Amino acid sequence: MSESQESNNEMDSVVTIPENGLVKLMYLFKLAKTSRQAVSLAALLFAAFTFLPLLVLSIISGTEFGGSVEMPVYKDSITLTRDLLVAPILILSDLAIRPWMAKSIERFEGMIAAESLDSFKAMVVRVFAVRNSMVADLVLLLFSFVLAFCGTGLTFSIDASSWHIDAASGSLTPAGFYNAFFSQPLFRFIVMSWLFDYILWVYFLFRVSRYRLRIIASHPDGVGGLSFIKLTQAQYGIAAFALSCSVCGVIAQAVHYLHLKLESFSDMALLFLILMLFVFAGPLLVFTPQLLNCKMNGTFTYGKLTGQLNRDFAGRWLGDRAGSDEKLLDTCDPSALADMNAGYETVMNMRPVLFDRTFIVGYIVVICLPALPLVASVIPLKSLLKQIFDALM
Residue span of the structural domain in which 275 resides = 3-286+360-392
Average pLDDT in the 232-245 region?
Answer: 97
* Spatial CB neighbours of 50, under 8 Å, sequence gap ≥ 6: 83, 87, 182, 183, 186, 187
Say if pTM beats, i.e. exceeds, 0.85: yes
What pLDDT digit, counting tens, does each position of 120-175 carry? Answer: 999 998 988 888 778 889 999 999 999 988 866 655 556 567 888 877 777 889 99
What pLDDT digit, counting tens, does each position of 59-114 carry? Answer: 998 888 877 788 899 999 999 999 999 999 999 999 999 999 999 999 999 999 88
Q: Is residue 333 part of a domain?
A: no
Is the predicted pLDDT of residue 194 greater than 70, yes or no? yes
**Secondary structure (DSSP) of 280-319:** HHGGGGGGHHHHHHHHHHHHHHHHHHHHHHHHHHHHHHSS
Q: Is residue 321 part of a domain?
A: no
Residue 3's pLDDT is what? 45
> How far is residue 47's CA from residue 19's CA, in Å, rounded to a whole number?
19
Residue 323's pLDDT is what? 45
Residue 206's pLDDT is what? 97
The residues with which 71 forms a beta bridge, in sequence order, are 162
Q: Is residue 59 part of a domain?
A: yes
Is the predicted pLDDT of residue 41 greater than 90, yes or no? yes
Is the predicted pLDDT of residue 119 greater than 60, yes or no? yes
Average pLDDT in the 16-39 region?
Answer: 84
Residue 121's pLDDT is what? 92
What pLDDT digit, counting tens, does each position of 270-316 carry? Answer: 999 999 999 999 999 999 999 999 999 999 998 898 888 888 877 77
**Secondary structure (DSSP) of 160-179:** S-BTTB-TTT-SBPHHHHHI
Q: Which among 258, 220, 200 has a CA at the least distance from the CA of 349?
A: 220
Average pLDDT in the 367-391 region?
Answer: 76
Is the predicted pLDDT of residue 386 greater than 80, yes or no? no
With bands split at pLDDT 50, 70 and 90, how would you rate the model's confidence at 10?
A: very low
Residue 342's pLDDT is what? 87
Is the predicted pLDDT of residue 223 greater than 70, yes or no? yes
Q: Is residue 325 part of a domain?
A: no
The three-state secondary structure class of 162 is strand
Residue 9: how many CB atoms within 10 A of its CB?
10
Q: Is residue 163 part of a domain?
A: yes
The three-state secondary structure class of 18 is coil
Q: Is residue 292 part of a domain?
A: no
Residue 18's pLDDT is what? 67
The number of distinct structural domains making up the chain is: 1
Q: Is residue 353 part of a domain?
A: no
Q: Which among 90, 346, 368, 100 has a CA at the least distance from the CA of 230?
A: 100
Average pLDDT, the chain: 86
Residue 13's pLDDT is what? 47
Amino acid at 161: S
Q: Is residue 351 part of a domain?
A: no
